[in-house]
Amino acid sequence: MVDPVAPWREEHECFVRLLRLLQKQVDVFHAGVEPNYALMQGIVSYLREYSDHFHHPREDVAFERLTSHCPEVELIVARLRQEHRVIAHTGATLMAHVEAALEGSILPREQLEAAAATYLIYYQNHIRTEETTILVRAAQHLTAEDWEAVRAAVPVAPDPLFGVDPQTRFRELRRQIEQEAHAEE
């Protein structure tokens, strides 16, 4: 039997890897060294495009379905859905700051650090809550009909970064992720 939450767990693992890479760049920036803004832009761009437009909308449908089976998670689900909006908003803010830096604009260091910290903290905690609280229940309680509704909620699109053939603009990001993975081995 296929685990219906396995694709979400795989995506979460990819997102966590990207968030770690982003954190490393923020740490470089905090130390007073110029980070790799292009890498930061690639990470945030991917997370905003793929996660905000495909991953999170599917989760929202699953969350709604899950609360009908497990009303005790309603408050957690409401918070997670709110976090989807916060992650999207802070991602847009962080992207604007990174793009401004790439264009040579000088902005207060605190603005970029605050946007990055908010984005990272929300995103990391969000994934942890989903992994420890929601996905277990979803695997246990959602029916085949529920999973079909989740799949139908958003058109299937190939992952532009982690898919078989990454989009051209994400190839460099994929190469850097693979370098990081080899460095950790």
Q: Give the position of tokens 């490393």.
A: 24
pTM higher than 0.95: no
Amino acid at 136: V
Contact 152, 64 (CB under 8 A): no
Architecture of domain 6-180: Up-down Bundle (1.20)
How do the pLDDT tens digits run along the chain, 185 residues long? 578 889 889 999 999 999 999 999 999 998 989 999 999 999 999 999 888 888 999 999 999 999 999 999 999 999 999 999 999 999 999 999 999 999 988 888 889 999 999 999 999 999 999 999 999 999 999 999 999 999 898 887 778 888 777 777 788 888 887 877 677 66
Distances (CA, A) of 25 to 10, 48, 78, 88, 91: 23, 18, 31, 20, 15
Q: Which two tokens stand for residue 64?
A: 């709604």
